[in-house]
Amino acid sequence: MKKSKPSTEDELVFLPLGGSGEIGMNLNLYGFGPARARKWIMVDLGVTFGDERTPGIDLIMPDPLFIEEHVEDLLAIVLTHAHEDHIGAVAHLWPRLRCPIYATPFTALLVRGKLVEAGIENQVELNIIPLGARFTLGPFDIEYVSLTHSIPEPNALAIRTSLGTVLHTGDWKIDPDPIVGVGMDKARLSAIGDEGVRVIVCDSTNVFSPGQSGSEGDVAESLTGLLGSCKGRVAVTTFASNVARVASIARAAHHHDRHPVLVGRAMIRIVAAAKEVGYLKDLPPFVSEDDAGHLPPDKVLFICTGSQGEPRAALARMADDTHPSVVLEQGDTVIFSSRVIPGNETSIFDMQNRLAERGIRIITEKDHFIHVSGHPCRDELTRMYEWVRPQIAVPVHGEARHLAEHAALARKLKVPVAIVTRNGLMTRLAPGDPVVLGEVPSGRLYLDGEVLIEDEEGAVQERRRLSFAGSVFVALVLDASGKVRAKPQVSVCGLPIEDNKGRSFSDVACDAASASLERLSAKQRQDDDGVAELVRRAVRGEIRKSWGKKAQVSVVVSRI
């Protein structure tokens, strides 16, 4: 493609709104043009998952407020691959953006499923781009470059502009035997490096890990050997998106005369998607959950969701013996062909304990070679920099410590400039030296049931406080003159029954409310909001003196 001559006012800028300073929830923006009239593309739009710090919240996604305010200049969303932290927010946030989406076939199929669930599939322009294809969006010339990762069709994006080329890697690793997919196009990466790459925006997840991440082919061989030592039923849990691992498990089952059974909706859905776009053609047939019940225990192998201890996933129900179709018994084996994602330790170990209590053998990556990471370790990062030879390194997809270490590695590898950014910082990549132009609004949106809420709304913070110190509800009844017409009614939730003196906390709250009212003048009692606030403070103070914690206190004033 012939490059247009840049205007003297044109700038190439990078703006992450998710995924820089954290792992997950990726949203990256590239802008081109003069500051007053930039055109933008969005690379990925993902989620992260709620934990004990966000009670009641399953999904968290980046707040796209900045680009919403410039949505008329947003040309498209370009997706690198189909992991939830890269596509999980598309269906939730697309109605705010209403722009075309570009993805390769496997990713597009999974995205379409999300759009169908949201009921907006007929509104969205979803463009399916062949692997290795090149297309133009306004001032951006974009090429998909095939990589390897732990899901089919991971891609880097070579984003060419008149001010230089950015290689945005997405998630990747170097896998000489990826089992599924076309493999890593090293020659194309080197050729793009020969053309000249101004900036690499690169995955930082495993920057602290020396060596290489390992190959899916080696895991397949190890799993096959391990299964030969297993008696009775075997269940192997892994990430449903790791289609190569699922294929390896199924082939290992077949090698040992076991019938593979997919258990869990995500597992069934993703395998079906992989088959629809042409992968997994040579796998042994899968047996249904119902038919598996008629097979001898040593002739079945379950491939199931739930490796992270998710309470509604297949393995958790199997551990609790509540799955409607699948049974595990004493002497059976569960293999965790996965890693423990930080934050999931408690749920995973609790589930493993439940399995162990029932006499079920547990094998993890600590016991046997049954898992490899999908992200590049230091030797692989070094190889990428040798191929691409960028002028500027911008680490992403990592916490602050990962980004700082990645930048240090890039400098060690003789990259002239390595910069550490974070969500909300807009950085000019060209022309001239990189410079931070300013900070834009960035934050999080929470999916609370079916409602998207902003973190400033306070619902999540209030739930955290409630989980720590409970709540007290006080109802007051006054007449028009301010006279108290009934004893305060108190409801207590989440507090101990009594304090150390044997007084119930209901009585503590009631006495505090009554005493507070008595101290108010008739004039003060005319102000409902003022009465409620003074009583709230008094009740909270007495609860704190008796308990040592600040309960959430709500007061309602009624007039008769």
Q: Residues 485-497: pLDDT tens digits? A: 999 999 999 999 9
pLDDT of residue 7: 63
pLDDT of residue 482: 86
pLDDT of residue 6: 55
Output phi, psi for 474, to 5 deg: -120, 125
CA–CA separation, 341 and 307 (whole Å)? 10
pLDDT of residue 467: 77
Q: Which amino acid belongs to residue 41?
A: I
Domain ranges of the chain: 11-211+373-437, 216-363, 458-559
Q: For the sheet containing 361-363, what is the strand order?
A: 259-263, 300-304, 234-237, 333-336, 361-363
Are 341 and 241 contacting, i.e. CB atoms less than 8 angstroms apart? no
pLDDT of residue 2: 44
pLDDT of residue 113: 96
pLDDT of residue 1: 40
CA–CA separation, 523 and 301 (whole Å)? 76
Spatial neighbors of 222 by CB under 8 A, at least 6 apart, are: 368, 369, 370
Q: Which fold has domain 458-559?
A: Ubiquitin-like (UB roll) (3.10.20)
- The secondary structure of residue 81, as a DSSP letter, is -
Region 216-363: CATH code: 3.40.50.10710
Residue 195: Cβ-neighbour burial (10 angstroms; 0-12, 13-18, 19+):
exposed
CA–CA separation, 151 and 80 (whole Å)? 11
pLDDT of residue 456: 62
Output phi, psi for 465, to 5 deg: -65, -40
Are 551 and 543 contacting, i.e. CB atoms less than 8 angstroms apart? yes
Tokens (6 digits) for 74: 């947003």
Tokens (6 digits) for 81: 């691959």
How many whole angstroms from its chain centre is CA 381?
Answer: 23
pLDDT of residue 223: 97
Q: Which of 432, 431, 440, 433 is nearest to 12 (CA)?
A: 431
- The secondary structure of residue 487, as a DSSP letter, is P
Are 42 and 67 contacting, i.e. CB atoms less than 8 angstroms apart? yes
Are 377 and 210 contacting, i.e. CB atoms less than 8 angstroms apart? yes
Residue with tokens 């003074």: 534
pLDDT-flagged residues of the chain (< 50): 1-3
How many whole angstroms from its chain centre is CA 71?
Answer: 24
CA–CA separation, 278 and 106 (whole Å)? 9
- The secondary structure of residue 512, as a DSSP letter, is H
What radius of gyration, in Å, describes the C-alpha atoms of the chain?
28
Q: Which amino acid belongs to residue 162?
A: S
Residue with tokens 């038919």: 291
In CATH, what is the architecture of 11-211+373-437?
Answer: 4-Layer Sandwich (3.60)
